[in-house]
Amino acid sequence: MSTSTYTECLDAMYSMRRFGIILGLSTITNILDGLGNPHRTFSAIHIAGTNGKGSIASALATILQQAGYRVGLYTSPHLIRFNERICVNGTPISDDAVVASWEAVKSVHRGDREPTFFEFSTAMAFYEFGCRKVDYAVIETGMGGRMDATNVVSPMISIITNISLEHKTYLGGTIAAITGEKAGIIKPGIPVVTGVSQKSAKAVIEKTTSRQHAPLFMKGRDFRVRRTGDDRFSYFGIDHRWKGMRTGLMGGHQVDNASLTLAACEIIMRNHARLSKAHIQSGLLQNRWPGRLEVVSQKPYVILDGAHNLMAARRLGRFLKDALAGRRITMVAGILDDKPYEAILKDLVAPCTRLIITRAKIDRSLPPETLKIVAKDLISDIQIVPDVGEAVRYAIATSKPDDAVCIAGSLYVVGEAKAALEKTGDSLFQI
């Protein structure tokens, strides 16, 4: 019988943040060895990159589930509850499963240092996937790749989505250096699918795959898409040509993400998986990824998007400008202190008429006053509402039915916003 409670387990895990980010694989390797190496019991798909990891991971998991497989999905961060990080067949694991996996990992850890939060949660995920006997596990890296805790898996496919400057303290200050860290997930002989576009990034990946004798499939060279609508496209792939494809996620960039998903599906099909075009079409259309261009109301139009780095902020800014042209848009934003907040804020507020600055509860959140200094040169209507839930409620209550409200700048802000919206319910939109 479990001796810990769900709350006690999470409190203990969150306290591990004080040890910071420690890159290395020895601690996670020792833990998994003590657990009987559950990560060797399933076929893994390993995904690294700057943006699109979660969208591609959830799409692949949904497609494989459509084909009748039992599928694990490990992503980060969560939006509302820790359980979201570890899903089996589209459902977050139960509180009891969190406690059981926590106790299992805790019981086998014998090392020189306490694991970080991410190491511990990764071990919990692999343990749970082993217990649930998943056929496939789609695994998203936390940061980087080479020394990321997830990099203990021996995947059937490695995917590197795209590269932009991020986490420069840990990953390096150039596109080439960061790509080198992401390319650390490439394993000998294992196929690689990538959507990187920069010349320096391509060079690093080509060199790494050549050294590892890993087959490389590159977007634009080995597979491509042709858009036939906002969310519709034709796919010209490695072995197949598929027309009439459609993604269930909004945003033009999701078609690019879908092309990587379909390339990965082709490789899975080469391994004689029972995967058909029908499974792929259905899974791609049914895929949902919360907090990324997620519409939660029509009157007013309320949309949630993490937009937690510069590339994502630019994509969101373009989407708002194109899709919501003519509407009065209120941006509710909070940004973390390790992000290029001046550039992010500029892109976020460009299509907006009002800015409400808020702050997520995580200790890395920038003070609203810091953001206001930058914002006053970008937009005239600025207010500070420090609590995220109050900021969202105020933005909606002071918007007209034809207006739009966008909540962005951090996945932590989006998570707190979703929690506030779920708690308030439909009454919030009775304006």
- pLDDT in the model for residue 369: 97
pLDDT score of 23 more than 90: no
- pLDDT in the model for residue 38: 98
Cis preceding linkage at 77, omega within 30: yes
- pLDDT in the model for residue 172: 58
The CA distance from 249 to 8, in Å, is 36
Q: What is 294-429's CATH number?
A: 3.90.190.20
- The CATH architecture to which 6-286 belongs is 3-Layer(aba) Sandwich (3.40)
The amino acid at residue 269 is M
The CA distance from 317 to 346, in Å, is 9
- Tokens 């939060």 sit on residue: 117
Taking residues 292-318, report their average pLDDT.
95
- pLDDT in the model for residue 424: 79
Question: DSSP per residue over 171-208, as a string?
Answer: H-SSHHHHHHHHGGG--TT--EEE---SHHHHHHHHHH
pLDDT score of 427 more than 60: no
- pLDDT in the model for residue 428: 60
- pLDDT in the model for residue 423: 87
- pLDDT in the model for residue 20: 53
Confidence of residue 1 (pLDDT cuts 50, 70, 90): very low
pLDDT, one tens digit per residue, over 151-163 is: 999 999 999 999 9
Which range has the top average pLDDT, 13-22, 69-78, 420-429?
Answer: 69-78
Confidence of residue 273 (pLDDT cuts 50, 70, 90): confident
The amino acid at residue 397 is A
pLDDT, one tens digit per residue, over 167-185 is: 555 565 799 999 999 999 9
State the chain's mean pLDDT as an integer: 93
Taking residues 76-99, report their average pLDDT.
97
| Other beta carbons less than 10 A from residue 3's beta carbon | 7
pLDDT score of 210 more than 50: yes
pLDDT score of 431 more than 50: no
- What does the domain layout of the chain look like in residue ranges? 6-286, 294-429
- pLDDT in the model for residue 87: 98
